[in-house]
């Protein structure tokens, strides 16, 4: 397993990111249905406009019998403390961060005598509000120019335009198989973050009950599952920033420190390196809490002898890393901690080795990890093998969502990005170990994108001891050094 760019530092990665993005801009042909006058230059959220256009084109090729409508995020959805973040699906297709927007895609020939159309609906300019919010690009020429989209209409006209289409003849055909559909996000369950989509679906069901509504999520999931070079570059950047943060974690952990101090250090490393936010709540779990998978209160004092599971991911330009390391509070693993740590690492390495391009599925790799634990001579206090303490899935897609979208059943396709994160959690020993890395799937094998971040137990101990020596000598740290 080799890292792709083993010697690159963060700064050179930024240059590389820009270079890759520029190459991608040139590589994508302009689809014919798009307004050719739209500006070709410029990036949206660090990706070329042509990239978003190619995604819309791909989606349109798959949906010929209906329109697609997506509802964007609103500022008020995020409450008093939230900073605006666009919803991932609409962001993926448009690169548009305007609050309270809608997106519509109409394939060619669906409406009689009408060409294909892609429309964003955004709020009209409001100079008084812009004194508070800063400049918001409005509908019309400026919106079309800025977002490289065929039409930028006013969101005030959204429902009028939508119902005109939904009440046109293709949506009212007698033959239900031939009838045009409305493709949108149909949320499952009552999830607050998808509430706006639910309200949209409810309104259509009420006001246009004849319309057949289809969930577009599976199609978008498959599109988002495989990443372009520009997306991979952004993920690599998020991963590198997270690597910097894990190094700071190793320097901060010591007996007597609080979990939130570790959180502060790592989130400072995120911000310092340009990450917009953590991609998910940072997990710093020490002692017993190392065995709680999604512990993120981070309030406990770290005690000598604890293991600390640190599961974190920086988000950079809408793409998040997800990397877990496990550290010994005192800078050195106990023999018991080390043997379990090594077993988890062996399980991860076995998965890397077992991976076969075009064949391996996530379920098969999970079995590989499980078998390593079953075959190990290590036991719990009752004499059981330790696979029973591997209580979660082996990994997941990684992308705009930390648990990214897409079907897991087929073999892992080239250009998908996955995590491999075996873990063993033994509450009665207050001992949890998880090791999580991020991998690019290629047709030649896995590329470990987080390979520069140490995970070998000796390297972890070395990293921690260099951190302890770098600090002004306190009595406790000098004592720990002499213990070794
Ligand atoms: Mn994960």
Phi first, then psi, for residue 301 (nearest 5°) are -85, 135
Mean pLDDT of the chain: 89
Residue in the structure block whose two tokens are 């335009």: 161
Cα of 466 from ligand 1 centre, angstroms: 28
Residues 87, 402: Cα–Cα separation, whole Å: 13
Cα of 74 from ligand 1 centre, angstroms: 28
Reduced to 3 states (helix: H, G, I; strand: E, B; else coil), residue 412 is: coil
Q: Which helix (H) or strand (E) holds 68?
A: strand 66-71
- Residue 113: pLDDT band (50, 70, 90) is confident
Cα of 209 from ligand 1 centre, angstroms: 41
Cα of 238 from ligand 1 centre, angstroms: 14
Cα of 395 from ligand 1 centre, angstroms: 6
Task: Kindly tell me the sign of the dihedral angle through the C-alpha atoms of 134, 140, 146, 150.
Answer: positive
Cα of 436 from ligand 1 centre, angstroms: 7
Instruction: Give me the DSSP letters along 153-176.
Output: EEGGGHHHHHHHHHTSGGGS-SST
Cα of 217 from ligand 1 centre, angstroms: 21
SS (H, E, C) 200-229: HHHHHHHHCCCCEEEECHHHHHHHHHECCH
Q: Look at residue 25 in the predicted model and tell me its pLDDT.
A: 43
List the single range of 2-6, 220-224, 295-299, 319-323 with lowest mean pLDDT: 2-6
Q: Look at residue 27 in the predicted model and tell me its pLDDT.
A: 41
Cα of 467 from ligand 1 centre, angstroms: 26
Do residues 321 and 279 make contact, with C-beta atoms less than 8 angstroms apart? yes
Cα of 434 from ligand 1 centre, angstroms: 10
Cα of 400 from ligand 1 centre, angstroms: 13
CATH architecture designation of domain 227-483 = Alpha-Beta Complex (3.90)
Residues 225, 441: Cα–Cα separation, whole Å: 11
Cα of 445 from ligand 1 centre, angstroms: 20
Structure-model confidence comparison of residues 475 and 422, the more confident one? 422
pTM (two decimals): 0.87
Q: Look at residue 184 in the predicted model and tell me its pLDDT.
A: 97
Instruction: From the options 3.40.350.10, 3.40.630.190, 2.40.37.10, 3.40.47.10, give the CATH code of 31-224.
Output: 3.40.350.10
Q: Where are the domains of the chain?
A: 31-224, 227-483
Q: Is the pLDDT of residue 325 over 90?
A: yes
Strands 66-71 and 181-184: parallel
Cα of 478 from ligand 1 centre, angstroms: 35
Nearest to 152 by CA among 94, 199, 109: 94
Q: Is the pLDDT of residue 352 over 90?
A: yes
Q: Is the pLDDT of residue 116 over 60?
A: yes
- Residue 79: pLDDT band (50, 70, 90) is confident
Q: Look at residue 483 in the predicted model and tell me its pLDDT.
A: 35
Residues 302, 253: Cα–Cα separation, whole Å: 8
Cα of 421 from ligand 1 centre, angstroms: 7
Structure-model confidence comparison of residues 48 and 21, the more confident one? 48
If you ran DSSP here, which 8-state letter would residue 179 be given?
S
Cα of 322 from ligand 1 centre, angstroms: 5
Cα of 381 from ligand 1 centre, angstroms: 28
- Residue 398: pLDDT band (50, 70, 90) is very high
Cα of 402 from ligand 1 centre, angstroms: 7
Cα of 342 from ligand 1 centre, angstroms: 19
Cα of 398 from ligand 1 centre, angstroms: 8
Q: How far is CA 363 from the centre of its chain?
A: 21
List the single range of 43-57, 179-193, 280-294, 352-366 with lowest mean pLDDT: 179-193
Structure-model confidence comparison of residues 453 and 190, the more confident one? 453
pLDDT, tens digit, for every residue of 145-173?
Answer: 999 999 999 999 999 999 999 999 999 99
Cα of 429 from ligand 1 centre, angstroms: 23
- Residue 466: pLDDT band (50, 70, 90) is confident
Q: Give the rounded percent of residues in the chain with a pLDDT score beyond 70.
A: 86
Cα of 391 from ligand 1 centre, angstroms: 13
Q: Where are the beta strands (DSSP E) in 287-416?
A: 307-312, 314-316, 319-320, 323-328
Q: Provide mean pLDDT across the span 113-120.
A: 91
Cα of 358 from ligand 1 centre, angstroms: 23
Q: Is the pLDDT of residue 484 over 50?
A: no
Reduced to 3 states (helix: H, G, I; strand: E, B; else coil), residue 119 is: strand
Q: Is the pLDDT of residue 476 over 50?
A: no
List the single range of 6-10, 109-113, 350-354 with lowest mean pLDDT: 6-10
Residues 313, 283: Cα–Cα separation, whole Å: 10
pLDDT, tens digit, for every residue of 246-300?
Answer: 999 999 999 999 999 999 999 999 999 999 999 999 999 999 999 999 999 999 9
């Amino acid at each position: 397993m080799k890292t792709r760019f083993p010697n690159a530092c963060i700064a050179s990665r930024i240059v590389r990111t820009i270079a890759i993005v520029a190459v991608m801009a040139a590589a994508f042909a302009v689809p014919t249905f798009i307004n050719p006058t739209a500006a070709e230059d410029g990036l949206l959220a660090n990706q070329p406009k042509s990239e978003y256009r190619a995604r819309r084109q791909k989606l349109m090729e798959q949906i010929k019998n209906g329109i697609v409508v997506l509802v964007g995020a609103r500022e008020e959805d995020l409450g008093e403390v939230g900073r605006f973040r666009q919803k991932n699906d609409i962001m993926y297709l448009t690169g548009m961060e305007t609050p309270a927007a809608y997106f519509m895609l109409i394939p060619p020939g669906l409406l009689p005598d009408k060409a294909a159309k892609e429309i964003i609906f955004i709020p009209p300019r409001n100079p008084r509000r812009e004194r508070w919010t800063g400049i918001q690009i409005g509908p019309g020429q400026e919106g079309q120019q800025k977002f490289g989209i065929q039409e930028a209409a006013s969101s005030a006209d959204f429902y009028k335009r939508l119902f005109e289409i939904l009440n046109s003849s293709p949506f009212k055909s007698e033959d239900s198989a031939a009838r045009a559909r409305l493709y949108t996000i149909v949320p499952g369950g009552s999830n607050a973050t998808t509430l706006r989509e639910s309200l949209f679906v409810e309104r259509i069901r009420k006001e246009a009950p004849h319309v057949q509504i289809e969930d577009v999520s599976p199609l978008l999931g498959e599109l988002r599952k495989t990443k372009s070079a520009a997306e991979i570059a952004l993920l690599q950047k998020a991963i590198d920033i997270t690597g910097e943060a894990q190094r700071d974690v190793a320097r901060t952990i010591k007996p007597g420190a609080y979990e939130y101090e570790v959180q502060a250090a790592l989130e400072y490393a995120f911000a310092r390196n340009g990450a917009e936010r953590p991609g998910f709540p940072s997990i710093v779990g020490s002692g017993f809490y190392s065995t709680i998978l999604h512990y993120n209160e981070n309030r406990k004092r770290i005690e000598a002898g604890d293991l600390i599971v640190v599961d974190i991911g920086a988000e950079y330009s809408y793409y998040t890393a997800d990397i877990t390391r496990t550290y010994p509070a005192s800078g050195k693993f106990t023999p018991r901690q080390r043997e379990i740590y090594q077993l988890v690492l062996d399980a991860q390495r076995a998965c890397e080795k077992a991976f076969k391009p075009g064949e391996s599925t996530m379920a098969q790799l999970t079995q590989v990890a499980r078998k390593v634990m079953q075959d190990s001579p290590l036991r719990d206090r009752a004499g059981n093998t330790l696979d029973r303490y591997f209580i979660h899935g082996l990994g997941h897609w990684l992308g705009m969502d930390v648990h990214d979208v897409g079907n897991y059943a087929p073999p892992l396709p080239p250009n998908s990005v996955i995590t491999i994160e075996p873990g063993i959690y033994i509450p009665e020993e207050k001992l949890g170990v998880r090791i999580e890395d991020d991998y690019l799937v290629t047709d030649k094998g896995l590329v470990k994108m987080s390979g520069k971040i140490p995970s070998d137990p000796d390297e972890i101990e070395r990293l921690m001891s260099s951190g302890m020596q770098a600090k002004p000598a306190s009595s406790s740290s000098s004592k720990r050094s002499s213990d070794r």
